[in-house]
């Protein structure tokens, strides 16, 4: 088997044991390549566990900038005996296996069609370090050193990263640099020189930033003016609330402008007793005029349902960031899916519809979280930001964050004490502007006017309790009108036209984005052309229906079993379901370009041969 040869286009996978300190070493590896101007796309594949279970870190090195998961492994760094067999099996023919050969392994543990590189990492560490923790931690740095030599990564870039990480901790800096060079020196002396995978300096990163979606969303909440965050720990959303707290400590502590209260906090973060309480606090804060959000994942959404219905019906601004994971039930807590679409779109009993935003990457996590807070105030309703574990918990290369200092917070229709004093008419649930959005007052606005009773029961336009059918219908129709108003306010879909006129289209959203772009390019190279539309929000603007009408078949690509986005489109537009062909990936791993391209091309080829009357051919997993 000919060894794989590739420059700036390969996949490395690290197989480690959870809690062994490998995560920071592996991140160092990814970042050093990035510093050489070559885009990378890393993904943590981790268990619901703190110590001892297998964990993987997969780095796609891609000068062309395909940031989706590729599938297939060119170099396996196998540091976990528990998963050895499966890890070795995963290597592409002609690929490379790097392992710790301190203890010899029987020949049956290897494959003939791969290239094996052994290095006695444990032996070197035991020889060099007396302390058990050091032996463990520096083993990681040592293999990074060896790999840097094999792959041609500039050690100066790694040392620079150490310098940034251990600023002011010179001792740690020195010992890390030493371990790095121990690894490099060993590789120089003992490892084969004909390694086929190489990193070459390029200029393909530009001004892009490398950040996790959860941190980006937290920062979006800072810029969007959130002052109250109530949350309950749940993977994969916890790091979002923790990042918000961290950014608050940095940007929201009074710098001493008020001498009476130096260091006072311009925020409140509550770790609630459960998700019901966290959404309840957000509802209370929103009702009382503070910008508030919560962050959670699927099980939390299930628990929040009653409150979501209250916020919808009583019209209270609420922002919910749902970092989706595999469901149903506890499901796959550390794997990714887009399976909360319907649960969020129609959350709570009775007739409800909610605004959903679908960010594709951390850049949009930032943008949409800030925008969600504006939309919640403007529309006086729950706004969901639907991210997922793939975007939320992995560092992703994306456009830098941007902010216009002239931008004000849009607090929506809030009647002031002056307006009430001047005699402006106030009816809490009255549609005075024709857009379905009523006016509200904050508590304590005016001593005599503008107070009202907020309730989850039906009411008349003056907010008084009413079980009259006509009052109820007026209100429910107004809520629909408000939802229609939302269409123009939410982020609009992003269309992309194929190079050639085509009968085929594809619709997708969220974290599917990078894999989709790559799949379209691959299909185009094979002569298959598709127009695409990336949806960024629900309610869907009319251009979504127009796009579907303009094509014979439209593939709807998503990461769940039941084609939830497709159901939502069919339901909202009353479209013939046969026109929408589902392409579904839901095994918990991020969708790949290979999967999308194969599914679509098979489907199109099958259609060219036999006539298929039904669009119900669900796709299997790769």
Partner 1 sequence: MTYIVKPKLHHPSLACNAAGFTRRNYEGAVSTLCAGCGHDSISAAIIQACWELDIEPHRVAKLSGIGCSSKTPTYFLGQSHGFNTVHGRMPSVLTGANLANKELLYLGVSGDGDSASIGIGQFVHAIRRGVNMVYIVENNGVYGLTKGQFSATADLGSKSKKGVTNTDNPLDMVGLALQLGATFVARGFSGDKPQLVPLIKAAIKHKGAAFLDVISPCVAFNNHPGSTKSYDYVREHNEAANRLDFIDGREEITIDYAAGELIDVTQHDGNVIRLRKLAANYSPHDRVAAMTYLHERQAKGEVVTGLLYVDADADDLHGHFNTTSTPLNRLTAKDLNPGAAALAKINAALR
Pairing of strands 9-17, 73-78: parallel
Identify which of residues 209 and 332 has a Cβ nearer to partner 1 in the complex: 209
The rounded distance, in Å, linking the Cα atoms of 191 and 119 is 8
CB of 265 to partner 1, least distance (A): 5
CB atoms within 10 A of CB 400: 11
Q: How far is the CB of 393 from partner 1 (least distance, A)?
A: 16
CB of 444 to partner 1, least distance (A): 5
Output b/e per residue, 494-512; b: 16+ Cβ within 10 A: eeeebeeeeebbbbbbbbb
Q: How far apart are CA 117 and CA 248, in angstroms?
A: 47
Task: Tell me how long the chain is.
Answer: 622
Q: What single-letter DSSP state applies at residue 589?
A: S
**509: nearest Cα among 560, 551, 465, 439:** 560
> How is the beta sheet containing 268-271 ordered, strand by strand?
268-271, 228-231, 292-296, 318-324, 382-388, 355-357, 537-538
Q: Which is nearer to partner 1, 468 or 503 (CB)?
A: 468
Q: Which residues pair with 535 in a beta bridge?
A: 509
Shortest distance, position 37 Cβ to partner 1, whole Å: 11
Residue closer to partner 1 by CB (options 142, 292) is 292
Nearest residue (CB) to partner 1, 265 versus 605: 265
**Closer by beta carbon to partner 1, 82 or else 457:** 457
Record the tokens describing residue 353, joined without a space: 């519809």
Q: Is the dihedral of CA 198, 201, 203, 207 positive or negative?
A: positive
Quick one: 265 or 571, whose CB is closer to partner 1?
265
Secondary structure (DSSP) of 338-404: ---HHHHHT-SSSS---EEE--SSHHHHHHHHHHHHHHHHHHTSEEEEEEEHHHHSSEEEEPPP---
Smallest separation, CB 93 to partner 1 (Å): 36
Secondary structure string (H, E, C) spanning 81-138: HHHHHHHHHCEEEEEEEEEECCCCCCHHHCCCCCEEEEECHHHHHHHHCCCHHHHHHH
160 versus 481: smaller Cβ distance to partner 1:
160
End-to-end CA distance of the chain: 25
Question: Which residues have CB under 8 Å from 528's CB, separation 6+?
Answer: 504, 600, 601, 604
- Closest approach of partner 1 to the CB of residue 381, in Å: 17
Residue 526 beta carbon to partner 1: minimum distance, rounded to whole angstroms: 36
Spatial neighbors of 249 by CB under 8 A, at least 6 apart, are none
The least distance separating partner 1 from the CB of residue 380, rounded to whole angstroms, comes to 14
3-state secondary structure of 585: coil
- In angstroms, what is the minimal distance from the CB of 311 to partner 1? 10
CB closer to partner 1 out of 146 and 221: 221
Choose between 64 and 455: whose C-beta lies nearer to partner 1.
455
What is d(CA 530, CA 581) in angstroms, rounded to the nearest whole number? 13
Nearer to partner 1, 337 or 348 (CB): 348
68 three-class SS: coil
Phi and psi, residue 266, nearest 5°: -100, 45
In whole angstroms, the minimum distance from the beta carbon of 464 to partner 1 comes to: 9
The CA distance from 98 to 142, in Å, is: 13
Which residue intervals of 252-297 are DSSP H helices? 275-287
Which residue is associated with the tokens 């499966």? 86
Nearer to partner 1, 269 or 557 (CB): 269
Of the candidates 439, 443, 478, 444, the residue with the CA atom closest to the CA atom of residue 458: 478
Kindly list the distances between the CA atom of residue 194 and the CA atoms of 149, 187, 189, 199, 511, in Å, as whole numbers in the listed order: 12, 12, 13, 14, 37
- Which helix (H) or strand (E) segment holds residue 556: the answer is strand 553-558
* φ/ψ of residue 139, rounded to 5: -60, -40
Q: Which is nearer to partner 1, 52 or 400 (CB)?
A: 400
Which residue, 117 or 420, has its beta carbon nearer to partner 1? 420
- To partner 1, the closest distance from the beta carbon of 372 in angstroms equals 15
Specify the residue, 135 or 413, whose C-beta has the smaller distance to partner 1.
413
Beta-bridge partners for 556: 507, 582
CB 622 to partner 1: min, Å: 32
Distance of closest approach, residue 485 Cβ to partner 1, in angstroms: 24
The least distance separating partner 1 from the CB of residue 520, rounded to whole angstroms, comes to: 28
Closer Cβ to partner 1, 111 or 208, answer by number: 208
Beta carbon of residue 197, minimum distance to partner 1 (angstroms, whole number): 24
- 205 or 596, CB closer to partner 1? 205
CB of 218 to partner 1, least distance (A): 11
Measured between alpha carbons, how far is 605 from 600 in angstroms, rounded to an integer?
9
Write the burial class of residue 130 (CB in 10 Å: 0-12 exposed, 13-18 middle, 19+ buried): exposed
Phi-psi region of 423 (alpha: psi -120 to 50; beta: other; left: phi over 0): left
């Amino acid at each position: 088997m000919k060894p794989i040869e590739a420059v700036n286009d390969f996949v490395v996978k690290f197989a480690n044991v959870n809690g062994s300190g490998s995560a920071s070493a592996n991140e160092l590896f990814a970042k050093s390549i990035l510093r050489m101007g070559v885009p990378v796309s890393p993904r943590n594949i981790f268990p619901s566990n703190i110590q001892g279970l297998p964990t993987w870190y997969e780095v796609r090195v891609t000068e062309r900038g395909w940031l989706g998961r590729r599938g297939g492994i060119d170099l396996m760094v196998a540091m976990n005996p528990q998963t050895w067999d499966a890890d070795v099996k995963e290597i592409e023919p002609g690929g490379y296996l790097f392992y710790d050969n301190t203890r010899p392994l029987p020949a049956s543990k290897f494959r003939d069609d791969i290239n094996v590189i052994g290095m006695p990492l444990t032996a070197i560490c035991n020889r060099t370090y007396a302390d058990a923790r050091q032996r463990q931690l520096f083993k990681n740095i040592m293999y990074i050193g060896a790999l840097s030599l094999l792959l041609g990564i500039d050690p100066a870039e790694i040392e620079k990263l150490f310098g940034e990480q251990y600023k002011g901790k010179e001792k740690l800096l020195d010992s890390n640099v030493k371990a790095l060079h121990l690894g490099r020196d060993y590789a120089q002396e003992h490892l084969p020189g004909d390694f086929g995978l190489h990193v070459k300096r390029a200029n393909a990163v530009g001004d892009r930033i490398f950040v996790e979606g959860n941190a980006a969303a937290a920062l979006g909440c800072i810029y969007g003016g959130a002052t109250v965050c109530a949350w309950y720990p749940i993977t994969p959303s916890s790091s979002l609330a923790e990042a918000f707290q961290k950014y608050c400590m940095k940007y929201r502590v009074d710098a001493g402008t008020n001498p009476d209260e130096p260091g006072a906090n311009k925020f409140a973060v509550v770790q609630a007793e459960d998700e019901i309480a966290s959404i309840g606090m957000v509802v209370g804060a929103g009702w009382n005029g503070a910008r508030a959000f919560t962050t959670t994942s699927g099980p939390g959404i299930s628990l929040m349902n009653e409150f979501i219905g209250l916020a919808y019906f009583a019209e209270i601004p609420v922002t919910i960031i749902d970092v989706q994971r595999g469901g149903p039930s506890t499901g796959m807590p550390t794997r990714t899916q887009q399976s909360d679409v319907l649960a969020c779109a129609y959350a709570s009993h009775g007739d409800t519809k909610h605004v959903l935003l679908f960010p594709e990457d951390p850049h949009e996590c930032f943008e949409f979280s800030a925008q969600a807070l504006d939309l919640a105030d403007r529309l006086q309703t729950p706004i969901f930001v639907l991210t997922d574990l793939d975007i939320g918990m992995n560092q992703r290369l994306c456009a830098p964050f941007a902010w216009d200092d002239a931008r004000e917070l849009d607090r929506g229709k809030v009647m002031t004490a002056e307006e009430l004093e001047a005699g402006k008419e106030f009816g809490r649930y009255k549609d005075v502007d024709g857009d379905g959005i009523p006016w509200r007052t904050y508590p304590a606005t005016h001593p005599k006017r503008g107070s009202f009773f907020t309730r989850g029961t039906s009411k008349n336009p003056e907010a008084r309790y009413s079980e009259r059918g006509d009052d109820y219908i007026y209100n429910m129709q107004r809520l629909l009108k408000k939802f229609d108003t939302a269409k123009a306010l939410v982020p609009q879909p992003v269309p992309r036209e194929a190079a050639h006129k085509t009968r085929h289209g594809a619709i997708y959203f969220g974290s599917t984005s990078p894999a989709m772009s790559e799949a379209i390019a691959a299909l185009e190279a094979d002569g298959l052309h598709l127009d695409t539309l990336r949806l960024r929000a629900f309610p869907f603007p009319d251009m979504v229906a127009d796009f579907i009408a303009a094509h014979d078949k439209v593939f709807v690509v998503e990461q769940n079993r039941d084609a939830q986005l497709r159901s939502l489109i069919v339901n909202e537009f009353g479209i013939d379901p046969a026109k929408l062909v589902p392409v579904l990936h839901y095994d918990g791993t991020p969708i790949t370009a290979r999967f999308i391209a194969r599914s679509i091309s098979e489907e199109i080829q099958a259609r060219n041969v036999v006539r298929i009357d039904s669009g119900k051919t669900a796709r299997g997993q790769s």
